Structure 1
Amino acid sequence: MSENVNDFFFPKNTVGNISVEEKDQLKNYLQVTEAFARVSYMSIYIIDYQNRNFEYVSDNPLFLCGHSADEVRKMGYDFYFKYVKKDDLDLLLKINQAGFDFYERIPVSERKLYTISYDFHLLNKDKAVLINHKLTPLFLTEAGKIWKAMCLVSLSTHTDSGNITVFKQGNNEFWSYDVKEDIWRNEEKVKLNERELDILRYYAQGYTINEIAEKIFISPDTIKFHRRKLFEKMQVNNISEALSYVTNNKLL
């Protein structure tokens, strides 16, 4: 594939001149972003689709691959060509195209409610690290194009690249993208009952199985039974993955 940053930008989301009214959206937003970055464990950066660069990159080290935040900001999309595994670069371009195709079908008034999530490998000191990448619109043009988007980077709970999903705020549905068949499938989020939520809340607070059993007046074996059912529901392997799943999907 060509190493051209313009490959990541599509005519469907070309952002030209910005009006005075559109610029009014920007008041103090970078200060808010910086404050969010100070209290978050995630790496945060902002894409400017008009200028085709990174407007902001946080100091959180996961996304930096040994560079300073300012160095990564200046690299912009060249960063991907240098630090994303070759196999995953083609995947990112396909996700970009599929994401904008999906986005075009959404009413303009609802576009800020949607977030796309996917996994790919970053090369950090010659070690491939699988990260989860979430992108959500910050500012739109009057025509509904994404002008600026916030990206959140954290360690993935999966084992392979892909896992492409779109979520809508306040909606129990989500859409998963099948790369091979090039289609989006509509699905529903996992539903947890109150007992399962109680167990996860106590796990999140660091309680042991025996301590949780005492708190909710059931046996440790019953806790293990519920935990096993939770893993099956969420298709995860351990409690750390389960907690990541419910956090990422806003179930807890």
Structure 2
Amino acid sequence: MSTISSFTFNAREGRQTHQHSHGHIIIVLTQTFYIRFLDQEHLLTPRLIGFVPPGVPHEFGCTGSALTLNIPAEMIKPTDLIILTEHSTLEIDAKLEPLISLIKQEVGGSSHSNSLRYLFYYLYDKFADQYRMPSLQYMHENYADAINIAQLAAMENYNVSYYTSWFREKIGCNPSDYLKMVRMEMAKEILTTTRYRIIDVAMQVGYTNSSSFTRAFHAMEGMTPNQYRKLMTENRNRIDRKPLAREDVL
């Protein structure tokens, strides 16, 4: 199981640049935290959360202190990564304040707890939902249904042609490819957590037969659904058999 770790960053002179395979959620505790990556530049305050995508070089500096949650890349859905990279800050409003306080308390007790993982997912969902366009939200909530581009375009008050161009510019792919990504993400979750037949998985994510689902899955993941399930099972068994490190036992 992937683990979220945390680190409290204190003020340092100047700015640094680095890159790593995990992502960050940054919660400023005091003063300000500067972050720059891709074409974005942000000055975070205690009222503004920041997100840094995995694998991206970033420059940063801190005048006070900040809490960083280190998020393994596999815990960030590709469809959400598109949104969070485009919209990488979130204001802490009255609804978010209790959650942020809980995260701070949890980190104070243990920087590798399961509770921190659950709190992260709740914050992660809030972050992603904040910036999902109506048509994106609809795809995430109704991926098992038949969805056509005209439906989605109407939700944004555009015609099909303009909507498709607008969507590609905003998200980086066309609507049908994005919907396929959403469906494959859900399929992988079902394959990993259940023993449902492939046809049952296919129907739960919007496909009417296992053949078209298997072709789509293979095109995106480079393996069949059965191969993916076998690989995930082997990985999980390998982790379960791994002896605990000394610090996990103490």
Taking structure 2 as the reference length, the TM-score comes to 0.31
Taking structure 1 as the reference length, the TM-score comes to 0.30
The structure with the greater share of residues assigned to helix is 2
The structure with the greater share of residues assigned to strand is 1
